[in-house]
Amino acid sequence: DAKTTQPNSMESNEEEPVHLPCNHSTISGTDYIHWYRQLPSQGPEYVIHGLTSNVNNRMASLAIAEDRKSSTLILHRATLRDAAVYYCILGQYNFNKFYFGSGTKLNVKP
Amino acid sequence: DAMVIQNPRYQVTQFGKPVTLSCSQTLNHNVMYWYQQKSSQAPKLLFHYYDKDFNNEADTPDNFQSRRPNTSFCFLDIRSPGLGDAAMYLCATSRSTEPSTDTQYFGPGTRLTVL
């Protein structure tokens, strides 16, 4: 199974940018990098995904290293509502697999 | 709004008493997934359906079964719940079985307590 490694927890101040790192050294050429987040007492929700190039959407940005062995989810201005567990996941092509890593619990301070 | 609905949100059962959790979707997606999430852990895939085709994960215990009578509904049956089966059970859907590119949409989950 492709594995991802994330810090257990991170803390941020409200209104400041947050950079959530993820290592995926065993990634293969066809694996996509996904980020989901899970707010307390809710199911996970999609944040962003990408293959090689950096990606932006209304929620966040995804920066992917040139060798693709790591990536960073960027929340440009953290709000209290962004406090959640953020999961970095490799979508393994042709394996129909979507394994969650252990996730990073983000705490946002007012 | 199109969504994934799970009922009930909280379920209490007794040790060894069969229990069924339900999931419905209005997204008309081909694929439905069931995940188990224990306290402070990441979700773990149990199995998924692509249309009527059932795909079991190798390490999913036989105690867990699933049914998908139509596109909209999927059920998780736990035949003889043990204390270790207490968890949040998450249902998700996607348009296709290509998770490398496809987005999964999750329901709010059913929290199962086993007494």
Query: pLDDT value at position A56?
Result: 94
pLDDT tens-place values along chain B, 115 residues long: 669 999 899 999 999 999 999 999 999 999 999 999 999 999 999 999 989 999 898 899 999 999 999 999 999 999 999 999 999 999 999 987 676 678 899 999 999 999 9
pLDDT at A47 over 60: yes
Helices (H), A1-110: none
**A42:B108 CB<8 A:** yes
Among A93, A98, A99, which would you mutate to test the B interface (most chain B Cβ atoms within 10 Å of its Cβ)? Answer: A98
Q: Which residues of A touch B33 (CB under 8 A)?
A: 98
Among A27, A93, A96, which would you mutate to test the B interface (most chain B Cβ atoms within 10 Å of its Cβ)? Answer: A96
* B11 Cβ contact list (under 8 Å, min separation 6): B19, B21, B110, B111, B112, B113
Confidence of residue A3 (pLDDT cuts 50, 70, 90): confident
* A58 Cβ contact list (under 8 Å, min separation 6): none
Work out the average pLDDT over A27-46: 91
Give Cα B25 to chain centroid, integer Å: 12
**A97:B45 CB<8 A:** yes
* Sequence-ordered strand ranges (E) for chain B: 4-7, 10-13, 19-25, 31-37, 44-50, 53-56, 64-67, 73-78, 87-94, 105-106, 110-114
**Contact present, B107 and B2 (Cβ < 8 Å):** no
Confidence of residue A23 (pLDDT cuts 50, 70, 90): very high
**Closest CA of chain B from A69, distance in Å:** 16
Query: pLDDT value at position A78?
Result: 95
| Structure confidence by residue, pLDDT tens digits, A51-98 | 998 999 998 999 999 999 999 999 999 999 999 999 999 887 666 667
pLDDT at A1 over 80: no
Q: Tell me the β-bridge partners of A107.
A: A11
**B109:A87 CB<8 A:** no
Q: Which residues of B touch A100 (CB under 8 A)?
A: 42-44
Q: Which tokens belong to B105?
A: 């949409």
pLDDT at A2 over 80: no
| CA angle (B66 as vertex; A103, B70 as ends), nearest 5 | 110
- What is the three-class DSSP state of B83? helix
Omega before B8 cis (within 30°)? yes
pLDDT at A110 over 90: yes
**Closest CA of chain A from B6, distance in Å:** 10
Rounded-to-integer distance, Cα B5 and Cα B90, Å: 10
pLDDT at A27 over 80: yes
**B45:A99 CB<8 A:** yes
End-to-end CA distance of chain A: 38
Rounded-to-integer distance, Cα A12 and Cα B70, Å: 45
The verdict on B44 touching A (C-beta cutoff 8 Å) is yes
